């Protein structure tokens, strides 16, 4: 057989055909793996058609890289964000909520726990009267004196300042005093720390001035019983223990004398603290109910005591 010469037309034709067949394979092997490395796609071109299988699997596991347009815009946007000044804190307006300190089991001056019982054990009762003094305080003191009963009067600061003689009589007859704020705010816990501190400290000062030198105010009662860790701690820091109750007569709503009497007779247990009112409105029902309750209490063996301190 005759072997074709390297320069023959047949060799040239075979070489050309082989080059045509191998060109796509060689070009595919030389193309970049990252579609972004080749530059922006031509108009109308599909990015997914140029992606290799490995590139598609990696894009499913991680967020895609930012496009050139987003990358070029990012520095100026970040520059504006970092240059913006931080907001200036503004003080709480009056009546706004202030963060409460963590609850404390004790504080300088005593415990912050709320008192719900009389100081002594046994068949005792601690009578308490809120919102005075008022024109009804004298009538209540007269009834208490008839039965040798003692009570605790939780007074409003300005009320005490307006009736210093009543405050002095409370003390002279062996009763005790409790701080019931300046303005009787409700709900108290929503006030700023400074406002709550004022309500408690200023009321104690007013009551003390009305009572005269040596006046002691041993307890603090939050209006409506709205105690919080914050106002309890403030009270203890001013030498007072938070005072609650175990029997609520709801006499402030004037439900009727029979209802007030029944609340005590059905709800009282030995060592209980009874809540009534000598101020804040018409307290004629309270006076009438007390006229029935005092003999009932003594008949049932109750003695009168003050709340625990």
Q: Where in the sequence numbering do the catalytic residues fall?
A: 130, 277
Cα dist. 119→105, 142, 270, 305 in Å? 19, 24, 11, 7
Instruction: State how beta strands 247-248 and 241-242 pair.
Output: unpaired
């Amino acid at each position: 057989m005759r072997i074709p010469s390297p320069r023959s037309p047949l060799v040239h034709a075979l070489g050309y055909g082989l080059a045509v067949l191998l060109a796509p394979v060689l070009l595919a092997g030389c193309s970049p793996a990252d579609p972004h490395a080749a530059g922006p796609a031509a108009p109308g071109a599909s990015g997914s058609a140029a992606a290799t299988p490995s590139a598609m699997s990696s894009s499913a596991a991680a967020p895609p890289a930012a496009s050139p347009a987003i990358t070029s815009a990012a520095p100026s946007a970040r520059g504006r964000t970092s240059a913006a000044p931080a907001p200036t804190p503004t003080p709480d307006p009056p009546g706004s909520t202030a963060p409460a300190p963590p609850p404390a089991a004790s504080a300088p001056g005593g415990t912050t726990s709320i008192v719900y019982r009389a100081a002594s054990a046994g068949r005792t009762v601690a009578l308490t009267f809120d919102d005075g003094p008022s024109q009804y305080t004298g009538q209540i003191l007269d009834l208490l004196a008839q039965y040798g009963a003692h009570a605790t009067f939780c007074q409003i600061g300005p009320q005490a300042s307006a009736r210093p003689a009543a405050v002095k009589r409370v003390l002279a007859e062996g009763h005790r005093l409790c701080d019931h704020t300046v303005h009787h705010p409700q709900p108290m816990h929503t006030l700023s720390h400074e406002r709550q501190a004022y309500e408690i400290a200023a009321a104690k000062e007013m009551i003390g001035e009305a009572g005269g030198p040596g006046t002691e105010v041993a307890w603090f009662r939050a209006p409506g019983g709205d105690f919080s860790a914050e106002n309890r701690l403030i009270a203890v820091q001013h030498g007072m223990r938070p005072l609650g109750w175990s029997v609520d007569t709801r006499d402030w709503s004037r439900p009727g004398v029979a209802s007030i009497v029944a609340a005590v007779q059905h709800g009282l247990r030995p060592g209980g603290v009874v809540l009534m009112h000598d101020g804040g409105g018409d307290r004629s029902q309270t006076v009438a109910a007390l006229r029935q309750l005092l003999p009932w209490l003594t008949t049932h063996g109750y003695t009168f005591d003050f709340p625990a301190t």
